[in-house]
Every structure is written in C-alpha cells, then in structure tokens.
C-alpha cells in the first residue's frame, strides 16, 4: 500500500478523525476502579467536534461530565485497521506477541503449523521447510505467544533477483540469494486459535517494514482466488493467474512494491 498516496486522498476532516481514533486507542489505559475494571478509558483532550462525530458513528461513547471517553468494540476494531493502514504497530499485538526471525530449534513447530494450516497438496513438506529455515532464517518472521513461548504464526520467504513466481521456490531453498532484490513469499500461517485478531496482517506489515529497511524492491506471492481480497486489503496488487500449478490448483500472483512506501 502506498501510504502517502492514500493519505493524500483523505480530507483534512477524515484524517483528523482517523488520527484521533488511533491516538485514543493507543493511549487508553486500565482503570484501577472496582466498578469498571474491565473498561479502558482514554483522556478526552481532543477536538470536541471530532469526538462527537466519532460518537455518532458509534466508535466511542462519552459519559456526561467525564474527562474520559471509551472506545466501543467497533471503535477498537476500526482503530486496529487504521494502525495497519498507517503502518503503525498495534499495541495489543506487540504486548501479546514477540515478532522476530525463527530459531533453528523452532523448525519442528513450524512444520506442524504448516500441516495444520494447509491441506497436504498445498503444505510445504517437512524436508523443504527445514531446509528453508536452515538457509534463510532471517526471512522467516514468527509471532511468538509471550504467555507460553510457542509460535502462533509466521510468514516466510526467500530472496531473489527474479520478479515472477515459479514453483521451484517452494521446493528449492538453494534459490535463496541473500542480497536479492525481491522476496518470494512462501507461506503465511496463523494457528486457528490465534486467528481473527489481526495477526496475519501484522505479520505482513512487520515483514514489509523489515524488508524496506533491507532495501528490497518487491514482495511476490501466490494465493488462491479466495485470498485475493485479503491480500488486496493489505496493499498487494493482483497480477492475474500465476505461472504455478502447485497442488494442482489455479493461483493468482500478487505483488507489493516496497520501494513505493
Ligand atoms: C489466512 C490466515 C493467515 C489469516 O490469519 P488471521 O490472523 O486470522 O488474519 P487477520 O486477522 O490478520 O485478518 C486480516 C484480514 O484478512 C481477512 N481474512 C482473514 N482470514 C481470511 C480467510 N480465511 N479468507 C479470506 N479473508 C480472510 C480478514 O477478514 C481481515 O480483513 P479485515 O481486517 O477487513 O477484517 C489464516 O486464516 C490461516 O493461516 N489460514 C490457513 C493458511 C492460509 O490460507 N494462508 C494464506 C495462504 S495464501
């Protein structure tokens, strides 16, 4: 996603609303009060008209005579989407998960997660997964559940100077060229019990941020038709049907131009 291009399209009013909502989300705190210990207020020091609009949209509510406002569940959900769109880390996810490169001793966990997340015809084999982890651990970003130290999900890839996807990347880790210009993404996996809280999106954005620092040009992936919309929302562009017959299925090739962000 080209953040500057998208930001330019927003009106001043919309930008103020979105930025206020994100600030309210990021600065909310736990109230140490026996009557409302589950509520998370945020201080009300923002433009009152903006707060009123956000309340009309049911993204927050403002109790009378209080110095605080409270985000609704819709408000928190929307704030999380905006944080991803603005390429800002999600506080909740950063508190719950550690994002880092995989360690060799976590290879067995990654193999198991791949088998849980993908059907046999699509999943990476144990041998290929272990070779990939041995060859390019720095391109294997994991989200570790801080409560138990286990992997909750990951995104992995190989670097190359090629621009288009071919199935050999799935099976031949020797194609990895450490200083390659582009990344061929090979798998985005989130265990079922960790889904629907924005973890996949955060993995993609963390990966993007990291590879932007490494001066890469483009991320390339293949996905089935039913995931095209998901990747588009993350900023990828659909390049149409890919030159891939992996698992005997039809794949779309999607790309993300990192140099534009
Ligand atoms: C697909 C997958 C990685 C999503 O993980 P997740 O952590 O639940 O995803 P997120 O919560 O970050 O959701 C990000 C966006 O993708 C959408 N999305 C999530 N799962 C989806 C699915 N199975 N199909 C279509 N869209 C999906 C969400 O609606 C969300 O969009 P929203 O913000 O507008 O609501 C996870 O379900 C998984 O591991 N599935 C099996 C493996 C797989 O299919 N990987 C991708 C293959 S290319």
* pLDDT, tens only, 110-155: 999 999 999 999 999 999 999 999 999 999 999 999 999 999 999 9
Q: Ligand 1 mean position to 230 CA, how many Å?
A: 6
The pLDDT of residue 2 is 45
pLDDT at 166 over 90: yes
The pLDDT of residue 239 is 95
Q: Predicted confidence band at 3 (pLDDT cuts at 50, 70, 90)?
A: very low
- 141 CB-near residues (< 8 Å, 6+ apart): 99, 100, 101, 102, 154, 155, 156, 203, 206, 207, 210
Instruction: Name the percent of the chain lying above pLDDT 90.
Output: 71
CB 221 within 8 A of CB 239: no
CA 59 to chain CA centroid, nearest Å: 23
Which residues have CB under 6 Å of ligand 1?
81, 117-118, 188-190, 195-201, 223, 226-227, 230, 233
Q: Where are the domains of the chain?
A: 3-88, 94-260
Rounded to the nearest integer, the mean pLDDT of the chain is 90
Q: Ligand 1 mean position to 200 CA, how many Å?
A: 6
What mean pLDDT is predicted for residues 95-99? 95
Whole-prediction pTM value? Answer: 0.77
- CATH of span 94-260: 3.40.630.30
213 token code pair: 């620092």
CB 107 within 8 A of CB 127: no
pLDDT at 204 over 60: yes
What mean pLDDT is predicted for residues 90-111? 93
Minimal-distance CA residue to ligand 1 atom 33: 81
Minimal-distance CA residue to ligand 1 atom 48: 223
Q: Does domain 3-88 have CATH number 1.10.3470?
A: no
pLDDT at 90 over 80: no
* pLDDT, tens only, 214-241: 999 999 999 999 999 999 888 889 999 9
Do 3-88 and 94-260 show the same overall fold? Answer: no
Minimal-distance CA residue to ligand 1 atom 27: 230
Atom of ligand 1 nearest to the CA of 222: 48
Half-sphere exposure (Cβ direction) of 224: Cα atoms closer than 13 Å: 9
* pLDDT, tens only, 16-34: 999 999 999 988 886 665 5
What mean pLDDT is predicted for residues 166-183? 97
- 196 CB-near residues (< 8 Å, 6+ apart): none
d(CA 171, CA 128): 6
d(CA 100, CA 203): 10
* pLDDT, tens only, 32-75: 655 555 578 899 999 999 999 999 999 999 998 889 999 998 89
């Amino acid at each position: 996603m080209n953040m500057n291009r998208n930001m330019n399209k927003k009106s001043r009013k919309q930008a103020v609303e979105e930025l206020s909502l994100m600030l309210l989300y990021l600065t909310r705190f736990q109230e140490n009060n026996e009557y409302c210990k589950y509520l998370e207020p945020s201080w009300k020091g923002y433009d009152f008209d903006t707060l009123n609009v956000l309340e009309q949209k049911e993204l927050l509510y403002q109790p009378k005579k209080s110095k605080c406002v409270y985000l609704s569940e819709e408000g928190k959900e929307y704030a999380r989407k905006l944080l991803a769109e603005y390429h800002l880390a999600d506080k909740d996810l950063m508190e719950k998960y550690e994002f880092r490169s995989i360690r060799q001793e976590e290879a067995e966990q990654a193999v198991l997660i791949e088998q849980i997340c993908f059907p046999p015809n699509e999943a990476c084999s144990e041998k290929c997964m272990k070779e990939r982890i041995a060859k390019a651990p720095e391109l294997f970003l994991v989200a570790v559940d801080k409560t138990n130290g286990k992997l909750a999900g990951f995104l992995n890839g190989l670097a190359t100077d090629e621009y288009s996807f071919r199935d050999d990347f799935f099976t031949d880790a020797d194609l990895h060229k450490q200083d390659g210009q582009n990344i061929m993404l090979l798998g985005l996996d989130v265990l079922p019990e960790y889904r629907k809280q924005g973890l996949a999106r955060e993995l993609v954005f963390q990966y993007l941020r990291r590879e932007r620092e490494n001066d890469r040009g483009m991320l390339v992936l293949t996905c089935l038709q039913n995931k095209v919309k998901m990747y588009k929302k993350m900023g990828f562009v659909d390049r149409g049907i890919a030159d891939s017959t992996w698992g005997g299925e039809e794949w779309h090739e999607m790309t993300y131009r990192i140099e534009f962000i």
